[in-house]
Structure 1
Amino acid sequence: MPDIRTRLAGPLVEGPWRALPVLGVTQVLAWGALFYPPVLTVPLIAAERGWSLSFAMAGFSAALLAGGAVAPLVGRVIDRRGGHVAMTAGSLLGALGLVALAVAQHPAAYLAAWTVVGVAMAASLYDPAFATLGRLFGAAARRPITLLTFVGGLASTVSWPATRALCDGLGWQGCLIVYAALLAGVAAPLHAFALPRQPAAPAPAPARAAAAAPAAVYAPSGRPFLLVMAGFAAYAFVPSALSAHLIAILQRGGIDAATAVLIGMLFGPCQVLARVTEFAFGAREHPLSLARFAIALMVAAFVLIGTAGVSVAAAAAFYVMFGASNGLVTIARGTVPLALFGPAGIGTVIGRLAAPWLAMQAAAPLVVAVAAERGSDMAALTLVAVFAAVALACFVLVRRPV
């Protein structure tokens, strides 16, 4: 029995596969400390500081814009130095930014603190984690990327109740300080000292396949790259807009608040279930097919809600499809660039793709709010559906390299 345990644990302790448990822990911490708390903490900040909620939430949008601006640089650092350098810096900057948010009194200081948090997100969340796994595992990174998303999908489940409890017990400032301590005291050391440096050794090729030509890939430029960039950027608008507005739209459509929240809770489990299904049955499918299917499912969800109207059954079905779609797109964000552009310089590639993704995330809540105020909720949902359709068209137009 000890020998079996040793053989199973060895790769997770000594080899590149150690990146998986390390990043699993740090992704939960990073998402849970930087990305998910603002929906609960920002209203408290606005109330205590005497700022409007729109200004307070603008800080989070500024963070996403700052993250998009530095994402390509983060990717280049991962290519040249390794994820242990970039992600350690991200954890420490995250801690600094959260402390700065806790003490910021002036609006300019508040926005500056969010800018630091945004840079930290660009060096801490899925994009740098996927780039790190791509650097470590090369073309074989699909499996570890998918496994990592299983754990990352639990971050909101952990973060929201933890944030609520911390805010109730310590206040919003105490909550931010606790999260800063976790980033500096847990995530940063794990990134710095436990994240592997050396890539995995390639698996020996079978004798008959030894002379096979390497898989064809595109250069990370030109029409294929622009289509992939546009496809992911257009899709990024969708979950950002829906996360900010869909619960409120359902309530204005006649669904009571408690039921709307319960329906919204379908999102997380459906994300994870879709990822587990992909891991179990999707290994033979090209990542491009995965992206097309996932976004087509999102488009179908909009068709459903548009034809059936806002009802409990239609809203529940929409959230199931939305969660499954988003869960699969998360995997595609790491695996499509690897499959189409190859593992060489993957950090730079993912960083370049992340920049417009984060910018669209920042813009979507405001754009949809304006569409709903000046038009209607259905007009706002139609706008979001258009972005989903554009994303699908982009990925349909991309062809596999030959």
Structure 2
Amino acid sequence: MSRLSAFLLGPWRAVLVLGVTQILAWGILFYPPVLMMPLIAADRGWSLSFAMAGFSLALLVAGSTAPTIGGWIDRYGGHIVMAAGSLIGALAVALLAFASHPAAYLAVWVILGVAIAANLYDPAFATLGRIFGTGARKPITYLTLAGGFASTASWPATQLSLTFTDWRGTYLIFAAVLAMVAAPLHAFALPRTKAAPPAMADNAAANPPTYLPASGLVFFLVAAAFASYAFIPSGLAAHLIAMFGRSGIDPATAVMIGALFGPSQVAARICELVFGGRAHPLNLARFSVALILSGFALIALFGFRLWAAIAFAIMFGAANGLLTIARGAVPLALFGASGYGRVLGRIAKPFQVMQAMAPLALAFVVEHSGDATALAVTAAFGVVSLVCLIAIRRPKA
């Protein structure tokens, strides 16, 4: 059997399948609201804040359902749970085009929250953990390389669709893509079999790794570290470009600087794949948070001068790219592959809640205290995250 045939017929096919479906899921369920919400609000006669509240509600629902969905993936597999999630997402996205009453609109976002919990990184990582066991770190890294292009594909595709149809038509197209592309790929192309466990060196075989129980202080520190970090990308994604503008950077340049975020994520993940395989995931997470805190220190010292803004955007993107890998790899290294999906879901619960709260909380701080205070508050969450990560002790062999 050729290497290509072995790849296509073996467990590594999961990385290819999930790479495609992650681009579709992120590009349909997560990224379009920044372009669609002003159109929905104007069309329905609602305030922009009410329209955005639907998306925040979806993230809260996603967090509350994540442990259950992770447990289902442990039990039934991603080929069932993620396929159902894609169909639920297709239904909800289609309903969004017709939800003209405020209560119906919020109800649709509740359904979309379930779809988010069953389609994005956490269920994909859980699926890879079920297939590859303790050897899932490298597949997770490869998967995040594909996911890093989701925003690059989504925003231009959404904007292109809006040139020949309205937001309703665009969401109906998205629904068709989830139902006719993502769901069949999940259902029929994801491998059912598990990969052979990774070969261990003689010293590792003689001293097999031990794992910690997914409870107690260590689990709390892991969940608190990632939840605290979640405030940073969620809050900055909603406000950073506006902060650039208020600092005197012209709008076109501010958007170009913001666009560095995606390529920086991908570049950092490539570096991790090439050079970081031997580093423990905890050290990867610590380095990532330290990197973004260095970016905040740079802005505190020099302000949003053009070169400093560019450097901050690159550091922010690189840190987030590495943290995404660590979110999947740290629980696997500390708690093992048994029950991995549910463990990821439990960690995702506070993460999603913080992700939902951050844009609104940071908007309040900006309005009442200004950008400098908002950046200081955001950096403080990074400090909390780093302290939690430093306090975690690895299990001994």
Shorter-chain TM-score bucket reads over 0.9
The answer to whether structure 1 residue 345 and structure 2 residue 335 are counterparts is no
Instruction: Identify which of 97, 106, 115 aligns with 1:120.
Output: 115
The answer to whether structure 1 residue 359 and structure 2 residue 357 are counterparts is no
Alignment correspondent of 1:255: 249
Instruction: Identify which of 213, 229, 233 aligns with 1:239.
Output: 233
Query: Which range moved further: 209-218 or 152-161?
Result: 209-218
Alignment correspondent of 2:262: 268
The answer to whether structure 1 residue 374 and structure 2 residue 368 are counterparts is yes
Instruction: Identify which of 156, 159, 163 aligns with 2:158.
Output: 163
Mapping 1:172-187, distance limit 5 Å: 172-187=167-182
By how many angstroms is 1:189 displaced? 0.6
The answer to whether structure 1 residue 74 and structure 2 residue 61 are counterparts is no
> Quick one: percent identity of the two aligned structures?
59
Q: Is the 8 A contact 1:12 1:21 kept in 2?
A: no
C-alpha distance in structure 2 between counterparts of 1:210 and 1:398, whole Å: 22
**Partner secondary structure for residue 16 of structure 1:** coil
Deviation per CA, 1:321-355: give whole Å up to 9, x if none.
00000000000011001001101110010010011
1:230 corresponds to which letter in structure 2? A
Alignment correspondent of 1:335: 329
Mapping 1:3-402, distance limit 5 Å: 7-205=2-200, 208-209=202-203, 211-402=205-396
Alignment correspondent of 1:3: none
C-alpha distance in structure 1 between counterparts of 2:231 and 2:59, whole Å: 12
Deviation per CA, 1:5-35: give whole Å up to 9, x if none.
x522123221111101110110010001100
1:219 corresponds to which letter in structure 2? P
C-alpha distance in structure 2 between counterparts of 1:145 and 1:210, whole Å: 22
C-alpha distance in structure 2 between counterparts of 1:334 and 1:299, whole Å: 21
Q: Is the 8 A contact 1:62 1:115 kept in 2?
A: yes
Q: Alpha carbons of 1:204 and 1:239: their partners in 2 closer, same or farther (altered >3 Å)? A: closer
**Partner secondary structure for residue 71 of structure 2:** helix
| TM-score (norm. length: structure 2) | 0.98
By how many angstroms is 1:168 displaced? 1.7
C-alpha distance in structure 2 between counterparts of 1:201 and 1:292, whole Å: 30
C-alpha distance in structure 1 between counterparts of 2:205 and 2:329, whole Å: 25
2:187 corresponds to which letter in structure 1? A
Q: Is the 8 A contact 2:135 2:198 kept in 1?
A: no
C-alpha distance in structure 1 between counterparts of 2:82 and 2:7, whole Å: 19
C-alpha distance in structure 1 between counterparts of 2:385 and 2:14, whole Å: 31
C-alpha distance in structure 1 between counterparts of 2:234 and 2:303, whole Å: 22
Q: Alpha carbons of 1:387 and 1:211: their partners in 2 closer, same or farther (altered >3 Å)? A: closer
Q: Is the 8 A contact 1:298 1:325 kept in 2?
A: yes
Q: Is the 8 A contact 2:134 2:197 kept in 1?
A: no
Q: Is the 8 A contact 2:24 2:150 kept in 1?
A: yes
C-alpha distance in structure 1 between counterparts of 2:297 and 2:64, whole Å: 34
By how many angstroms is 1:38 displaced? 0.4
Q: Is the 8 A contact 1:75 1:350 kept in 2?
A: yes
Q: Alpha carbons of 1:219 and 1:40: their partners in 2 closer, same or farther (altered >3 Å)? A: same
RMSD of Structure 2 on Structure 1 (CA): 1.0
C-alpha distance in structure 1 between counterparts of 2:199 and 2:231, whole Å: 42
1:250 corresponds to which letter in structure 2? F
Deviation per CA, 1:42-81: give whole Å up to 9, x if none.
1100000000000000000001001001000000001111
Which runs of 5 or more residues in structure 2 are unaligned? none
Query: Which range moved further: 195-204 or 68-77?
Result: 195-204
1:93 corresponds to which letter in structure 2? I
By how many angstroms is 1:91 displaced? 0.3
1:283 corresponds to which letter in structure 2? G
1:89 corresponds to which letter in structure 2? A
